[in-house]
Amino acid sequence: MRGIGVDIIDLDRLDIENLHFVERILSVNEYQLFCQMKSKQRRLEFLGGRFAGKEAYLKANHKGLGGIDFHDIEILNDKDGSPYLNDKHALISISHEKKYAIAFVVVEK
């Protein structure tokens, strides 16, 4: 199976003060990183990038929302800062600009 997916999110739509919402989006490892971030803007960018990345991953895998639980999709960073998915067949790119985050995923299996 091959696929591509892209998603963009307006960071103003995210409520990072609602920890129940944040915990529904992030894996345990992602949540630990989120909690270590000092600024609200960095937390917004991180959460928005993960949200967009997971949505893009679902699209690339031809799954609808809920097709794969967000906790089962994990996006971490290499030592150089580049993001990677917990799927060795998938590549991801995440970008932020002011109040938006966008992610692009390619899956080749």
> Two tokens at 57?
């991953």
Q: Which amino acid is at 100?
A: Y
Structure-token match 């967000």, residue found: 70
* CA dist list (Å): 58 to 13, 16, 45, 80: 20, 22, 20, 25
Query: Annotated catalytic sites, by residue?
Result: 59, 96
Helix (H) or strand (E) holding 105: strand 100-108
